[in-house]
Amino acid sequence: MNNQPSRIILASSSPRRKYLLTELGLSFTVDPSCVDESAIPYENERQFAIQAAMAKATEVAARYTKGALVIGADTIVCLDGQILGKPRDLDEACSMLLRLRNRSHIVITGVAVAEAGTGNVLLDAEKTEVIFKRFRQKTLEQYLKTGDSMDKAGAYGIQGAGERLIHHIKGDYFNVMGLPLQRLLQLLSSVMDVAPHLAQIGKMRRPF
């Protein structure tokens, strides 16, 4: 990978990832992956996140000609050796958040940059520790009513209303949002000038 990409594609429909790439000032299009994550084999949490990101990026890259770059990402929430995915309903969301309350857990995002037409893929992952507050039942109920839990791993988002659940974090804030920007730009630096985009990170809001 040593040529400037003709186009950048995000292999995700996540509004948070679209927001983050837009804030970076990157020009991109969206083409979500159809990968079934449940079929991905893995030995540990980090490997799963990376394998899932690679599967998404390469599946979408196969639709394009040489020169296009595809960004794939997969974010997981890990607690007690278990991966907490997206809740199936509000009851499961409530159960997940009660498990996370007043405890520390790990958020891992795998990132993949695939070059269409070549089979070249760059891979990495970011890990952030998130510590939840001992929030009250009323706070939990109010958050569940927002509906914010239903499309997020671990049943919460760090941005918006989800901020009320979190005491502090250790690591990359944007990783918990779903895309570790510093890590992504390190991968993209192989194919493009990322200096202007690196400068944008410092201007973006991080409440933790």
* Per-residue tens of pLDDT for the chain, all 208 residues: 545 677 999 999 999 999 999 999 999 999 999 998 888 888 899 999 999 999 999 999 999 999 899 999 999 999 998 999 999 999 999 999 999 999 999 999 999 999 999 999 999 999 999 999 999 999 999 999 999 999 999 999 999 899 999 999 999 999 999 999 999 999 999 988 999 999 999 999 898 8
Assess whether 124 carries a catalytic annotation.
Answer: no
Three-state DSSP class for residue 118 = coil
Angle at 86 between CA 84 and CA 87, to 5 degrees: 95
Q: Which of 74, 91, 151, 172 is catalytic?
A: 74
Q: Which residues face 133 on adjacent strands?
A: none
What are the structural domains of the chain?
7-201 (3.90.950.10)
Burial degree of 138 (CB within 10 A; 0-12, 13-18, 19+): exposed
- What tokens were used for 66? 């040489």
> For residue 41, what pLDDT is reported?
81
Q: Report whether 154 contacts 81 (CB < 8 A).
A: no
Q: Report whether 11 contacts 33 (CB < 8 A).
A: yes
